Structure 1
Amino acid sequence: PKMASSLRPLFKTSKTVVLSLALLLTIRDHVVAIDFVKGSSMAPALSPTAHETGERDAVIIKRWKPKDKLQRGDVITFWKPHKPGEISIKRVVALEGDLVWPRDRESGTKDGWGGWGVRGNFLGQEGVKGKDGEDGKGKKGCLEVPYGHVWVEGDNWRGSFDSNDFGPISRALVDGKAVGVVRGWRWMDVPGKKEEKGDTKVKEGRARLPEAFLE
């Protein structure tokens, strides 16, 4: 009885620690989290000196219903379609139903730091209709973002692997939305993207249910 009495506070403390950790993990996975931006694909908005100094911004990520009310310009985290076990962070450039003219970067970034060498534009994929209404598979130029998808890009196009490479991503892959940035000791809003010559052109459209859903 004496031993049990002496162990009771320890069990109580352990229970409190376990419950606290479970609560923190639940908050991190489903409500809000803090992630560090590793690369420079989102520079200069995020981690602008990562390439030179290695300093990384801490980004506040909202994980509670991140797919709700997505807007052009939002910065989101998502599961990479080409590497399912990894998370990426990019900016939403176009929504479902929008027409997109991808950035012309055939000359690529062969001599630019952080680039991916000589690169071609995304070739339309099967089921993604161009403005002429034809299937976009294997074609360049304008394409319509399909229902349930978004077009994402890094602000630093020279060092970004994004929809220009793998096409629109499913909204189901969206894991979170950036709502704030901590840089040094400063809290700040997520910076917008500075416009550049040659940016991807977008014409706003309207989401349309695939015909198969209407049958």
Structure 2
Amino acid sequence: MGSLGRRLAELPWRSSAAATYSNFSFVVKSLCAFQVIRSYLVDFIIPMGPSMLPTFNLTGDVLAVNKVPTWWGQLNNGDVVLMRSPENPRKHIVKRVLGVEGEMATYLVDPANSDTTKTVMVPKGHIWVQGDYIHSSNDSRNFGPVPQGLVEGTIFCRVWPPENFGLIGSKVNPYEPPTN
């Protein structure tokens, strides 16, 4: 037992402890930086469901979300946004912006059964959002204009699957109601 004690006493404890502390400190700082980047700059999501067909796959693509435009309210028609659901704040939804404050938004009232349209004025501080597949989308047609404060970012890039990698364009909804 005496020789074991002497061997332990001869080990360079201070340098080992300093190296361990340095490595631990690096890991903690890296995790903090990663969290800041995900919270305020760019995040990744996997949306599920049919509301954004054919833009996104039903089983979910990996999408990059730019969180910077939401700081200044820089949303435009055609942008695809990640937002909290106005009906259930615990749920995130992905929709396309079809009207910003002060604009008139025209939409199909019941796209499955008629071509009847309705036009609404988007109030200040709100946006009008719809899914690209209007036959299976719970959107502003159901819950009305959405406060801009619920928007968490704009989707700008599809990361996965690799064959579909690329930027997500800001386009007008391909399922717009016909003009009368």
TM range (shorter): 0.7 to 0.9
- Number of equivalent positions: 164
Structure 2: how far apart are the matches of 1:142 and 1:73?
18
**Residue 193 (structure 1) shift:** 5.3
Q: RMSD of aligned C-alpha atoms?
A: 2.3
User: Gapped runs of 5+ residues in structure 2?
Assistant: 1-8
Is 1:92–1:153's contact at 8 Å kept on the other side of the alignment? yes
| 1:179 paired residue number | 156
SS at match of 2:102: coil
| 1:210 paired residue number | none
Structure 1: how far apart are the matches of 2:80 and 2:111?
26
| 1:137 paired residue number | none
SS at match of 1:176: strand
> In the alignment, is residue 23 of structure 1 matched against residue 33 of structure 2?
yes
Is 1:77–1:89's contact at 8 Å kept on the other side of the alignment? yes
> In the alignment, is residue 190 of structure 1 matched against residue 168 of structure 2?
yes
**Structure 1 or 2: more strand by fraction:** 2
**Residue 24 (structure 1) shift:** 0.4
Identity rate, percent = 26
- Flag the structure with larger Rg: 2
User: Gapped runs of 5+ residues in structure 1?
Assistant: 109-120, 122-139, 202-215
Find the partner of 2:131 among 154, 158, 164. 154
Equivalent residue letter for 2:107: P
* Gap change, CA 1:196 and 1:80, over 3 Å in 2: closer
Find the partner of 2:43 among 30, 33, 37. 33
TM-score where L is the length of structure 2: 0.81
SS at match of 1:89: strand
| 1:101 paired residue number | 106
Structure 1, residues 11-64: CA drift from partner, whole Å, max 9, x if none? 1111100100000010001000111111121010011xx2xxx3x211110011
- Runs of 4+ residues deviating >4 angstroms: none
**Structure 1 or 2: more helix by fraction:** 2
Structure 1, residues 177-205: CA drift from partner, whole Å, max 9, x if none? 01111242142121545623636x7xxxx
Is 2:108–2:118's contact at 8 Å kept on the other side of the alignment? no
Structure 1, residues 149-206: CA drift from partner, whole Å, max 9, x if none? 000000011221110110000111110001111242142121545623636x7xxxxx
* Gap change, CA 1:46 and 1:193, over 3 Å in 2: farther
Structure 1: how far apart are the matches of 2:55 and 2:140?
19
| 1:112 paired residue number | none
